């Protein structure tokens, strides 16, 4: 029997994506367990959410380390010591370099609140709204050394409505993030993701691809 995948979540802020992951784990729909939550910010709400769910919560700030490499080595040490097989970045506001990424090859995911490759970087929802797009959305992707450039795992589209502000749009995108991230982790945990070049091939359970695609694109396929 395959052992249960242990996920380490890195988060810097309010932690609503972490909450969606914790809720999915609690309901048995994640196919994985959250082993530890680490934040670079001591007061991050994400740490409170982890503790409330009975998950180990650690603050590890870069300021205590002489270099970025030392900090990344410390993060790797914490995650490895807990048997983490997948790292999920959930609003983690630091860029991770090769010292970290090489320790978890193909095993670091991120969620971004835009349809990549459009609008990478910070305040993506505001960027999209100000640009005037009619369809926005969110992306879960594997992490590489670029900023929001790694292979796309799943995307969900969100229409931009006439009455939207950047804030109302961000709120509707966030609802989709909370569906997208736990599903991406489940697919990974079940061994259904395979990298082919920069394309992530998904071995969908029977019938699921069309229903997910239809729900998230608003299109019939």
Q: Which residues bind ligand GRF (CB under 6 A)?
A: 11, 13-18, 90-91, 111-113, 174, 177
Q: How far is the CB of 90 from ligand GRF (least distance, A)?
A: 5
Phi, psi of 112 (to 5 degrees): -130, 135
Q: Which is nearer to ligand GRF, 38 or 111 (CB)?
A: 111
Q: Active site residue: 59, 112, 141, 178, which one? A: 112
SS (H, E, C) 93-148: CCCCCHHHHCCCCCCEEEEECCCCCCCCCCCHHHHHHHHCCCEEEEEEEECCCCCC
Q: How far is the CB of 91 from ligand GRF (least distance, A)?
A: 3
Is the separation of the CB atoms in 53 and 22 below 8 Å?
yes
Q: How far apart are CA 216 and CA 137, in angstroms?
A: 9
Q: Which is nearer to ligand GRF, 81 or 135 (CB)?
A: 135
Position of minimal CB gap to ligand GRF: 91
Q: How far is the CB of 121 from ligand GRF (least distance, A)?
A: 10
Q: Which is nearer to ligand GRF, 17 or 40 (CB)?
A: 17
Cβ atoms within 10 A of the Cβ of 109, count?
A: 24
112 is catalytic: yes
Q: How far is the CB of 96 from ligand GRF (least distance, A)?
A: 13
Q: Which is nearer to ligand GRF, 130 or 203 (CB)?
A: 130
* Residue 116 neighbours by CB under 8 Å, 6+ apart: 139, 141, 148, 149, 152, 155
Active-site residue list: 112
């Amino acid at each position: 029997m395959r052992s249960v995948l242990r996920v380490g979540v890195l988060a810097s802020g309010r932690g609503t994506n972490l909450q969606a992951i914790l809720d999915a784990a609690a309901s048995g729909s994640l196919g994985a367990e959250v082993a530890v939550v680490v934040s670079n910010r001591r007061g991050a709400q994400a740490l409170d959410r982890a503790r409330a769910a009975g998950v180990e919560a650690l603050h590890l700030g870069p300021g205590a380390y002489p270099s970025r490499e030392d900090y990344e080595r410390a993060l790797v040490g914490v995650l490895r010591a807990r048997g983490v097989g997948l790292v999920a970045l959930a609003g983690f506001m630091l860029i991770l370099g090769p010292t970290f990424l090489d320790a978890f090859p193909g095993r670091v995911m991120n969620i971004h609140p835009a349809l990549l490759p459009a609008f990478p970087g910070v305040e993506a929802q505001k960027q999209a709204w100000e640009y005037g797009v009619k369809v926005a959305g969110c992306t879960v992707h594997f992490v590489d050394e670029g900023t929001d450039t790694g292979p796309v795992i799943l995307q969900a589209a969100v229409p931009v409505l006439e009455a939207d502000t950047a804030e109302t749009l961000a709120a509707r995108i966030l609802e989709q993030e909370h569906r997208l991230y736990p599903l991406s982790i489940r697919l990974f945990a079940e061994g259904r993701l395979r990298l082919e070049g920069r394309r992530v091939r998904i071995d969908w359970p029977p019938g699921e691809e069309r229903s997910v695609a239809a729900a998230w694109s608003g299109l019939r396929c």
